[in-house]
Chains A and B, each alone.
Chain A
Amino acid sequence: MAASLVSLLAAKEMVLVCGSGGVGKTTTAAAMGVAAATHTRGRVLVMTVDPARRLADALGVGALGNDATRVPDDAFVDAGVEPHGELWAAMLDTKAGWDELIRRHAPDAQLRDSVLANPLYQNITSRFVHSHDYLAMERLHELHTSGEWDLIIVDTPPSRNAISFLDAPGRMKEFFGSRLLKWLTVPYRSRLFTMASKPFYQVADRVLGSRFLQDIAEFFILFQTMEQGFVRHARQVERLLSDPRTTFVVVSTLEAAPTHEASYLARALARRELPLGAIVANRVLPRAFTAKAAGTSARKLGKAAGGELAPRLAGELGTDADAVEHVLGELSERFADVAIVATREAERQAELSELAPMLVTIPVLDRDVNELSDLAELARSFT
């Protein structure tokens, strides 16, 4: 078992970062990249799906594209960190990714062009078999086999189900093997299509109109010629996910819903026998807020505010005693709110720590993450 997140990163070649929306998954993935490049030699790539433009700015790479861009060493130096390795970043571009896949798998140029020119192509690729998930997995495989990277950190796509990307390769295989695809394409190919014999067609045709079905069928007939390439790749991607060099990191905040989702994710990974390396709890309030001493002081502060304390402090600060009394009273009252939240967080943290070999907390920051130095600060929690 690794002792820290940094040592886990050093021991792996691929890290899949998952979690529900809004927990800071992309930022955490970037901070992990910074941590890895700071502490280990080698080439580290962070592949993100949808970064805030400011995150790209923070990494000092301007706009991220499908091609990897190197974070300049100067940016590290400006952030007060000395990198031992190289940090690169890339963004997953679904459209460009699909075009590339079609180009790679198409048996000939004519077919390639027919697919790319099919009126339904764009619409279909952006939707079917969770194409975003599939592409992310494809890209990961491609990057890994390129041998150019020592560590690849993937910020997984946001989706309805945070682990649906795991099913993407299997779904692609199933898709090509499905009787449905054959049903849909064979009749149009053989031209011996008797609708009456197939209730499905009869209904579908009536509902959707035959022209529409035919458009779809045409697309899939073209697409089917690429079956071999896609299926072979899907198998390789599946193998890669369960490879011992791969690990998963679940990111969450300690709010109710994200915690729930994180524990679901952790269990789902365990069920699939996929290795969960760590859970990262983001934006955690200081544990001191739950300490008994703090609660006691806050209560006493409320009581003392109306007594001697306010005038004494006011004298010391050269200000009005009423104002001090008001502030002390408010401090006392409001602290109780924060303490409740911190206590809940502590409970949820305990719950999550049961589910992973390592639980790492990132303290709440008093600012947004705007610069590499902010990522470097987050990364300090990983050592």
Chain B
Amino acid sequence: MTSQVEDLLLDRRLVFVTGKGGVGKTSIAAALAELAARSGRRTLVCEMDAKGALADALGADALEFEPREIEPNLFGMAMNTEDSLREYLRLFVKVPFLGKIGPLARTFDFVADAAPGVKEILAVGKLCHEVRERNYDVVIVDAEASGHIVAQIGAPHVIRNLVQVGMVRDQTDWMLDILHDPATTAVAIVTTPEEMPVNETLDLVDRLEDETGVAPTAVVANRVLSSWFDDDEMQLVSALGDHVDLLVEAVGKGAATVVAAAHIAEARRAIGAGHLERLRTGLRDAVGDVPMFEVPELFTRATGRRVVTLVADALESAEAT
């Protein structure tokens, strides 16, 4: 049986992984990258916000703009708009006096801050460039949080509207071709079964296609708590709680804590399940069917690189609901 996640996401050439801060976007992006590399695809994974979380997740040294093979088939890079600009100037503008432009960082930081879409298009442009050059089978992007992703993916669109002439405008055409082709580009929105992440996901789903022309491909619900007990069993647990003295007598005074833990776990799971249900309904109402994959909360002693593998395993066998 082939993996649904593979079919839906990894067979594309450019995969944006976004979501509200704190939902585990980076681990999902790293896990997708591992899965892609594992299946023999030459894979580039790119961290957009330069915080170093992706390198940490992959147990690699700090990533740089120049892609580096960190594992067989798995290349990593960190986006840097200044480097992207240098590369762009070198490749396309053929600027002969790059050194004379002065401190590029300060200069362009300023212009890029001021001019809408410039920073974003330098970032997205680099990704699209890698796709166009076919340097990799798939480029996986640990993208900006949902608040910024619309600006990023929508940058070529914005630039086209603002810039009337010039090279940048000309270049937006091929970028838009790549971004708007659902067979080429995918967007995966990561969320957790919590209130704010679910709200942000629904909000993003609403805006994404309208404002960028790129439709969301899949939603990944991360850290989904599994239930310990069904309803009948939960009643039994409650009944045990009423006879906790018998349990204490049999197994010691910690028994009450063990029963209390079951109640807390069940309450947390039920809250999460409610939010997931809201997400499902909301997705149906907003865009018809966006496949949703669940990744369970991993209770494990493992940390670092090992966690990514466990998440990759979970994704590989996940079935869309």
Contacts and interface: CB of A to CB of B under 8 A. Distances in A.
A345 to B, nearest CB: 13
A296 B19 CA distance: 40
Contact of A327 (B114, B233, B265): B233
Contacts of A205: 166
Contacts of B97: 199
Nearest to B97: A199
A235 interface: no
B22 A207 contact: no
Interface in B23-60: 23, 49, 51, 53
Contact of B260 (A123, A211, A257, A286): A286
Given A208-B115, A294-B254, A203 B95 contact: yes
B243 A335 contact: no
Contacts of B113: 127-129
Interface string A110-127: 000000000010011001
Interface residues of A, number: 75
Contacts of A330: 228-229, 233
Nearest to B85: A207
B102 A366 contact: no
Given A258-B22, A285-B264, A340-B299, A180 B110 contact: yes
Interface in B242-269: 243, 246-248, 250-255, 257-265, 267-268
B115 A295 contact: no
Given A127-B113, A216-B114, A317-B239, A199 B258 contact: no
B236 A209 contact: no
A184 B101 CA distance: 14
A22 B303 contact: no
Contacts of A272: none
Interface string B89-112: 100010101001110001100110
Interface in B262-281: 262-265, 267-268, 271
A294 B195 contact: no
Given A295-B254, A304-B251, A367-B271, 11 more contacts: A22-B197, A207-B89, A208-B118, A208-B168, A209-B168, A257-B22, A258-B22, A297-B252, A297-B254, A301-B247, A326-B233
Interface of A: 20-23, 52, 54, 120, 123-124, 127-129, 158, 160, 175, 178, 180-181, 184, 199-200, 203-212, 215-216, 220, 256-258, 285-286, 288-289, 291-298, 300-301, 304, 309, 312-313, 316-317, 319, 323-324, 326-327, 330-332, 334-335, 337-338, 340-341, 364, 366-368
